[in-house]
């Protein structure tokens, strides 16, 4: 029988300098056995037997995704004498020669511009930010965001104290009912509450309406904003930048085992509506002002002093440095991942994971045929693990020829490796042509999009502190989003009806202690239980993982979703999966790929697996509660006329219990419709067609 090639080694060498790796392999690596011959991309090792050549091993390297990969193939039917020695020594030596590197951005610029500061370390990032409108401002913002994030990770035990409590009373007639800090997600909720008649102030650090992220959603999810009366169907249509026919999910599988290769998953109603974020925010701002609310933009939050009857917020107007103060009954933290309030309330466990996310809106320059704007690329990878990260792309069509493209990875926060926006941007500008064919110099850049999207691994609904007396967090600051594709925007919109109802009751009855406000959260047990899924997509800092491992795991599960009816995939990705479906899919994945549990265990570790069992138990009990107490919403509705005014605390607790999504959001929606909602503005509502 003729000899054939057999792959015997596949590793990643975490450096973009493939030339250095090839030179080391050819000139410095010492073979334990065999004779080395140089080839254009590596070496060939001839191993002699007793009377002839026993076989050959070909070792070569190549570059992709700003890193280096190495493979070794045996030219023989059976293992060659000394083969294992060569593999083991090669792997050990190359790990020593090319260890993981976690670059740190240079220190603050001083008199230099941000372009001068970063030009040496991040040359492509500087080159293309110079072509982006407001590029210098945005690169400065990305730099300082990363610096602030790094500082928070490096000093988790010394979070800056910004919330202070005092027994002193300086007044009992606050100017506002609600003060929101953070104008992106904050303005949505603020506008709703202002339309309910509350006195609302929104404080935003940036010029209002400007943000470095784009939003996608589906029509049925946006319907909640229409049901609440914030938007009319016509207004919703006016903020749609684009709507595509189908969305694709596909992960690189060329190096995966056969059982870990998958068909494309189609999700035509997931994130298929691109929102014009600035137009959307401007409309929310106009509605807030029309309802009597106020907006202080370019104003930075400094501290909050909580008194028995009010909260005093101190801030600074950035253009002049002027100090400003205001008083309110309740402070709402919508500052996102950089929120100093979230860090103070949760100390070392502010966040468990993060997705460093970078990208841009590109208005033109892609050759014809590169992408059809009738479709979205919801999740895609075009290679294996790169420098300890599984890079994932998202592509969403926008208005006209606009394409919004993101690059991100799931990341386990570590002091030596907090996660870098600037490294990701250098990757983005280097490997974008690998993902979608293009001439980078021909692209027309419209806007930079970037941010840290946090994650929190919840064991139960009370696992994370989101409130203080007269203070509550929403959105990314609360870190209660899906671990897959949704950020705080999706979580807020899907839960807005519930959060509004609970907040309205809390304000109406002055239930503004931390004990009550901690129940106003977007926690879902069916979302919390899936955090192990995202944990399995993170490479622990300092560890080397088989390059195809994460793509194999992703393809296993998404291949199962592709084989299911479309409604099942949609429910899973939109955080609506119920207990029975979750367990059926998990068992199906274990049957298809028995190694899956071992892989997750290796990446997550025994400690997090035990924590996950707590999440699963909470999910199970939540589902059981939903089945056993299906009568509770009707009972609560019947009790409302006499219970709410007599025992408002009990009424609030019952309302919080029955509005928690039980074994899936669809069930929760059905429950919430049974409870009387006097605060809804149905006369301004309507329905959008799918």
- What confidence category does residue 117 fall into, taking pLDDT thresholds of 50, 70 and 90? very high
**Sign of the dihedral through C-alpha 286, 287, 293, 298:** negative
Instruction: List Cβ neighbours of 585 (8 Å cut-off, separation of 6 or more).
Output: 557, 560, 561, 564, 568, 572, 577
pLDDT given for residue 682 in this prediction: 32
- Calculate helix-pair angle for 135-154, 421-435, nearest 10 degrees: 120
DSSP state at residue 470 = T
Structure tokens at 106: 């240079």
Q: Rg of the chain over CA atoms, in angstroms?
A: 27
Burial of 334-356, coded b for 16+ CB within 10 Å and e otherwise, reads: bbbbbbbbbbbbbeeebbbbbbb
Structure tokens at 503: 């907040």
Structure tokens at 435: 């993902």
Burial of 419-437, coded b for 16+ CB within 10 Å and e otherwise, reads: bbbbbbbbbbbbbbeebbe
96: left (phi over 0), alpha (psi -120 to 50) or beta: alpha
Query: Range with the lowest mean pLDDT among 50-54, 309-313, 497-501?
Result: 50-54
Residue 670 pLDDT > 60: no
pLDDT given for residue 505 in this prediction: 94
pLDDT given for residue 484 in this prediction: 52
pLDDT given for residue 631 in this prediction: 86
Residue 477 pLDDT > 60: no
171 forms beta bridges with none
pLDDT given for residue 52 in this prediction: 57
pLDDT given for residue 51 in this prediction: 57
Residue 683 pLDDT > 60: no
Q: State how far the Cα of 496 lies from the Cα of 506, in Å rounded to an integer.
A: 15
Report the mean per-residue pLDDT for the chain: 86
Q: State how far the Cα of 446 lies from the Cα of 340, in Å rounded to an integer.
A: 31
User: Of 506 and 572, which is predicted with more confidence?
Assistant: 506
Q: State how far the Cα of 616 lies from the Cα of 528, in Å rounded to an integer.
A: 8
Residue 295 pLDDT > 50: yes
- What confidence category does residue 426 fall into, taking pLDDT thresholds of 50, 70 and 90? very high
pTM: 0.86
Q: State how far the Cα of 218 lies from the Cα of 690, in Å rounded to an integer.
A: 9
The CA-atom distances, in angstroms, between 416 and each of 83, 121, 148, 153, 179 are 36, 19, 15, 9, 37
Contact status, residue 529 vs residue 614, Cβ threshold 8 Å: no
Structure tokens at 61: 């390297």
Structure tokens at 3: 């000899």
Residue 312 pLDDT > 90: yes
E strands of 469-530, at which residues? Answer: 471-473
Instruction: Sort 472 into a burial class: Cβ within 10 Å, 0-12 / 13-18 / 19+.
Output: buried
DSSP notation for 159-207: PPP-EEE-S--S-SS-SEEEEEE-SSHHHHHHHHHHHTT--EEEE-SSS
Q: What is the pLDDT of residues 175-219, one digit of tens each?
A: 999 999 987 788 999 999 999 999 999 999 888 877 767 788 889
pLDDT given for residue 635 in this prediction: 86
Q: State how far the Cα of 629 lies from the Cα of 631, in Å rounded to an integer.
A: 5
Q: What is the pLDDT of residues 231-282, one digit of tens each?
A: 999 999 999 999 999 999 999 999 999 999 999 999 998 888 999 888 999 9
- Among 281, 285, 287, 244, CA closest to 266: 244
pLDDT given for residue 66 in this prediction: 97
- Among 394, 428, 383, 392, CA closest to 411: 392
Average pLDDT score over residue span 219-223? 88
User: Of 599 and 54, which is predicted with more confidence?
Assistant: 599
- What confidence category does residue 684 fall into, taking pLDDT thresholds of 50, 70 and 90? very low
Structure tokens at 676: 């009387």
Residue 347 pLDDT > 70: no
The Cβ of residue 598 has, within 10 Å, a number of other Cβ atoms equal to: 10
Q: State how far the Cα of 639 lies from the Cα of 635, in Å rounded to an integer.
A: 6
- What confidence category does residue 50 fall into, taking pLDDT thresholds of 50, 70 and 90? low
Q: State how far the Cα of 418 lies from the Cα of 151, in Å rounded to an integer.
A: 9
Instruction: List Cβ neighbours of 220 (8 Å cut-off, separation of 6 or more).
Output: 269, 690
Instruction: List Cβ neighbours of 562 (8 Å cut-off, separation of 6 or more).
Output: 249, 262, 263, 264, 265, 266, 569
Query: Range with the lowest mean pLDDT among 136-140, 284-288, 303-307, 683-687?
Result: 683-687
CA 56 to mean position of chain CA atoms: 46
- What confidence category does residue 152 fall into, taking pLDDT thresholds of 50, 70 and 90? confident
- What confidence category does residue 339 fall into, taking pLDDT thresholds of 50, 70 and 90? confident
Q: What is the pLDDT of residues 87-107, one digit of tens each?
A: 999 999 999 999 999 999 998
Instruction: Sort 625 into a burial class: Cβ within 10 Å, 0-12 / 13-18 / 19+.
Output: middle
DSSP state at residue 158 = S
pLDDT given for residue 479 in this prediction: 52
Contact status, residue 365 vs residue 236, Cβ threshold 8 Å: no
Q: What is the pLDDT of residues 460-475, one digit of tens each?
A: 556 667 778 999 988 7
Q: What is the pLDDT of residues 644-668, one digit of tens each?
A: 889 999 989 888 888 765 444 343 3
- Among 118, 123, 187, CA closest to 146: 118
Query: Range with the lowest mean pLDDT among 145-159, 390-404, 583-597?
Result: 145-159
Question: What is the total residue count of the chain?
Answer: 690
- What confidence category does residue 1 fall into, taking pLDDT thresholds of 50, 70 and 90? very low
Instruction: List Cβ neighbours of 269 (8 Å cut-off, separation of 6 or more).
Output: 218, 219, 220, 570, 690
DSSP notation for 16-69: S-HHHHHHHHHHTPPPSSSEEEEETTEEEEEEE-SSSEEEEEEEEEEEETTEEE
The Cβ of residue 670 has, within 10 Å, a number of other Cβ atoms equal to: 13
Average pLDDT score over residue span 133-139? 95
Strands 265-266, 215-217: pairing is unpaired
Question: Token pair 């502190």 is at which residue?
Answer: 465
């Amino acid at each position: 029988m003729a000899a054939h090639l057999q792959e015997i080694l596949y590793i990643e060498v975490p450096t973009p300098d493939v030339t250095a790796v090839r030179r080391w392999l050819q000139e410095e690596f010492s073979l334990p056995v065999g004779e080395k011959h140089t080839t254009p991309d590596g070496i060939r090792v001839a191993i002699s037997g007793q009377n002839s050549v026993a076989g050959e091993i070909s070792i070569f390297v190549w570059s992709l995704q700003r890193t280096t990969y190495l493979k070794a193939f045996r030219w023989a039917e059976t293992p060659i004498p000394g083969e294992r020695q060569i593999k083991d020594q090669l792997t050990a030596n190359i790990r020593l020669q090319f260890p993981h590197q976690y670059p740190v951005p240079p220190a603050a610029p001083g008199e230099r511009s941000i372009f001068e500061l970063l030009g040496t370390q991040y040359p492509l990032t500087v080159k293309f930010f110079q072509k982006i409108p407001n590029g210098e401002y945005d690169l400065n913002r990305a730099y300082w965001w990363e610096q602030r994030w790094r500082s928070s990770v490096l000093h988790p035990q010394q979070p800056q104290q910004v919330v202070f409590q005092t027994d002193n009373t300086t007044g009992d007639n606050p100017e506002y009912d609600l003060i929101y800090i953070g104008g992106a997600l904050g303005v949505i909720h603020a506008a709703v509450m202002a339309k309910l008649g509350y006195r609302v102030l929104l404080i935003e650090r940036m010029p209002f309406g400007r943000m470095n992220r784009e939003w996608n959603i589906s029509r049925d999810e946006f319907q909640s904003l229409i049901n609440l009366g914030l938007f009319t169907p016509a207004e919703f249509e006016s903020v749609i930048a684009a709507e595509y026919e189908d969305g694709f999910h596909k992960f690189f599988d060329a190096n995966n085992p056969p059982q870990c290769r998958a068909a494309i998953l189609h999700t035509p109603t997931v994130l298929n509506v691109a929102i014009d974020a600035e137009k959307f925010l401007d409309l929310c701002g106009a509605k807030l002002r029309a309802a009597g609310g106020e907006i202080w933009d370019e104003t930075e939050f400094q501290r909050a002093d909580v008194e028995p009857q009010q909260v005093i917020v101190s801030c600074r107007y950035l253009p002049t440095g002027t100090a400003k103060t205001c008083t309110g009954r309740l402070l709402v933290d919508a500052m996102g991942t950089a929120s100093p309030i979230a860090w103070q309330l949760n100390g070392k466990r502010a966040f468990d994971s993060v997705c460093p996310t970078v990208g841009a809106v590109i208005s033109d320059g892609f050759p014809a045929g590169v992408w059809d704007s009738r479709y979205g690329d919801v999740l895609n990878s075009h290679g294996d693990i790169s420098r300890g990260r599984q890079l994932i792309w998202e592509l969403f069509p926008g208005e006209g020829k606009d394409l919004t493209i993101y690059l991100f990875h799931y990341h386990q926060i570590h002091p030596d490796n907090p996660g870098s926006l600037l490294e990701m941007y250098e990757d983005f500008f280097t490997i974008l042509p690998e993902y979608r064919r293009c001439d980078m110099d021909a692209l027309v850049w419209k806007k930079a999009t970037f941010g840290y999207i946090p994650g929190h691994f919840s064991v139960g609904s009370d696992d994370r502190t989101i409130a203080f007396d007269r203070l509550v967090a929403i959105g990314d600051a609360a870190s209660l989003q899906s671990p897959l594709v949704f950020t705080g925007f999706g979580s807020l919109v899907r839960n807005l009806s519930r959060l509004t109802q609970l907040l309205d009751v809390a304000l109406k009855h002055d239930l503004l202690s931390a004990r009550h406000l901690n129940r106003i959260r977007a926690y879902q047990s069916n979302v919390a239980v899936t955090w192990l899924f995202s944990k399995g997509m993170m490479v622990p800092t300092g560890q080397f993982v088989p390059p195809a491992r994460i793509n194999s795991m992703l393809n296993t599960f998404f291949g199962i979703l592709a084989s299911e009816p479309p409604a099942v995939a949609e429910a899973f990705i939109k955080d609506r999966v119920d207990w029975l479906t979750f367990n059926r899919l998990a068992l199906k994945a274990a049957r298809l790929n028995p190694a899956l549990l071992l892989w997750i265990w290796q990446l997550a570790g025994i400690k997090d697996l035990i924590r996950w069992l707590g999440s699963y138990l909470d999910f199970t009990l939540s589902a059981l509660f939903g089945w056993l107490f299906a009568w509770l919403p009707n009972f609560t509705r019947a009790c409302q006329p006499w219970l709410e005014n007599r025992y408002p605390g009990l009424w609030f607790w019952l309302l919080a219990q029955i509005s928690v999504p039980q074994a899936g959001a669809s069930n929760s929606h059905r429950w919430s419709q049974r409870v009387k909602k006097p605060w809804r503005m149905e006369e301004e509502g309507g329905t959008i067609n799918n």
